[in-house]
């Protein structure tokens, strides 16, 4: 079992959370449904309903979009991803089929096993996945920095669970955001994040100011990362090597720039873990094309 734990803290930016949440729930649901002899768990993340159930709803047995790859056998209109991936193409001639399999036989896609530069050479590929909203303090309602919008953390951040941990940035008046990130850096999040980063089975990820929160806690010195453009100098001052890229992949630390990079970061994680087909299907589902570069 693998986990994607998305951390909530007081004053978090809701878009930093919800954008990757939707992408990861959709992608892990597709991946879980294609895993051999697997029973996909119910994702526990708040707000995961449409994305979690969508890819297989109403599909005939054995003909889910994830089950046979590109949904050519799924009747049009029965499924939100079927329309997006098969409309207009005759059966067997889906224009994306060739580029997503790299010409390899079914089940032998050479890009399915991506290590993506992790120091241990192992990417968290395969198996069932669960997406969770967590907090350092455990289950609680966590208020964001945007108009009092709140989300429910369903569990405590667990540094022993393999997979991904994602730390968002903060939102609110610009002059208050540094204080919110510093508060998170002084909270119980810091020692839990440190334990997670010491776990070779976890890749730490951040969106926007999340990297700055970890840096303020002294966890990123000597690493390579990015944050929101307004925080690059502050991030550099903590001893981080700053790369001004959309996504910076430093092995077991992957950071995103501004708030909208959360979509691209989550899609990068899907491709890293499950291969390009799953990532592309989710891109089609959410009607988003990745932009910018991934620095490695």
Identify the top-confidence range among 88-97, 99-108, 117-126, 147-156: 147-156
Residue 203: how many other CB atoms lie within 10 Å: 27
Q: Does some domain include residue 96?
A: no
pLDDT value of position 266: 98
* Nearest one of 229, 228, 237, 244 to 13, comparing CA atoms: 228
Average pLDDT of the residues in 80-94? 34
pLDDT value of position 34: 79
Mean pLDDT for the chain? 78
Q: Does some domain include residue 246?
A: yes
pLDDT in tens, 230-248: 999 999 999 999 999 999 9
Average pLDDT of the residues in 64-74? 36
Q: Does some domain include residue 198?
A: yes
Identify the top-confidence range among 83-87, 115-119, 204-208: 204-208
Is the pLDDT at 45 greater than 60? The verdict is: no
Average pLDDT of the residues in 9-17? 98
pLDDT value of position 127: 55
Domain that holds residue 138: 2-47+113-295
pLDDT value of position 178: 96
pLDDT value of position 36: 64
Tokens linked to 32: 């879980």
Among 32-36, 84-88, 174-178, the minimum mean pLDDT is found in 84-88
Average pLDDT of the residues in 245-267? 97
Among 35-49, 66-80, 153-167, the minimum mean pLDDT is found in 66-80
Confidence label for 30 from pLDDT (cuts 50, 70 and 90):
very high
What total number of domains does the chain contain?
Answer: 1
* CATH number of the CATH domain containing 235: 3.40.50.880
pLDDT value of position 108: 35
Is the pLDDT at 71 greater than 60? The verdict is: no
pLDDT value of position 189: 98
Phi, psi of 152 (to 5 degrees): -100, 120
Q: Does some domain include residue 86?
A: no
Q: Does some domain include residue 231?
A: yes
Q: Does some domain include residue 217?
A: yes
Average pLDDT of the residues in 212-217? 98
Is the pLDDT at 42 greater than 90? The verdict is: no
Confidence label for 226 from pLDDT (cuts 50, 70 and 90):
very high
Tokens linked to 219: 């966890």
CB 85 within 8 A of CB 108: no
Q: Does some domain include residue 97?
A: no
Q: Does some domain include residue 91?
A: no
SS (H, E, C) the chain: CEEEEEEECCCECHHHHHHHHHHHHHHHHHHHHHCCCCCCCCCCCCCCHHHHHHHHCCCCCCCCCCCCCCCCCCCCCCCHHHHHHHCCCCCCCCCCHHHHHCCCCCCCCCCCCCCCCCCCCCCCCCCCEEEEEEECCCCEEEECCCCCCEEEECEECCCCCCEEEEECCECCCHHHHHHHHHHHHHCCHHHHHHHHHHCCCEEEEECCCHHHHHHHCCCCCCCEECCCHHHHHHHHHCCCEECCCCEEECCCEEEECCCCHHHHHHHHHHHHHHCHHHHHHHHHHHCCCCCCCEEC
């Amino acid at each position: 079992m693998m986990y994607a734990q998305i951390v909530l803290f007081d004053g978090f930016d809701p878009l930093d959370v919800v954008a990757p949440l939707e992408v990861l729930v959709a992608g892990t649901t597709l991946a879980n449904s294609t895993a051999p002899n697997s029973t996909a768990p119910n994702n526990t993340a708040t707000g995961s309903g449409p994305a979690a159930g969508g890819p297989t709803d109403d599909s005939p047995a054995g003909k889910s979009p994830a089950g046979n790859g590109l949904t050519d056998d799924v009747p049009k209109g029965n499924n939100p991803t079927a329309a997006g991936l098969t409309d207009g193409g005759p059966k067997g001639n889906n224009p994306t089929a060739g580029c997503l399999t790299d010409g390899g036989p079914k089940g032998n896609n050479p890009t399915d096993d991506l290590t993506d530069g992790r120091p241990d050479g192992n990417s968290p590929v395969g198996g069932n996945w669960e997406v969770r909203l967590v907090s350092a303090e455990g289950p609680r309602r966590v208020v964001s920095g945007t108009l009092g919008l709140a989300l429910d953390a369903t569990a405590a951040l667990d540094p022993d669970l393999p997979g991904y941990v994602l730390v968002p940035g903060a939102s609110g008046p610009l002059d208050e955001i540094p204080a919110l990130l510093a508060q998170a850096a002084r909270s119980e999040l810091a020692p839990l994040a440190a334990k997670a980063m010491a776990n070779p089975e976890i890749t730490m990820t951040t969106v926007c100011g999340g990297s700055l929160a970890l840096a303020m806690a002294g966890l990123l010195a000597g690493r390579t990362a990015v944050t929101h453009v307004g925080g690059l100098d502050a991030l550099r001052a903590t001893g981080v090597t700053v790369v001004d890229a959309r996504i910076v992949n430093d092995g077991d630390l992957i950071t995103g720039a501004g708030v909208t990079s959360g979509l691209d970061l989550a899609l990068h994680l899907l491709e890293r873990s499950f291969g390009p087909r799953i990532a592309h299907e989710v891109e089609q589902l959410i009607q988003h094309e990745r932009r910018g570069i991934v620095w490695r």
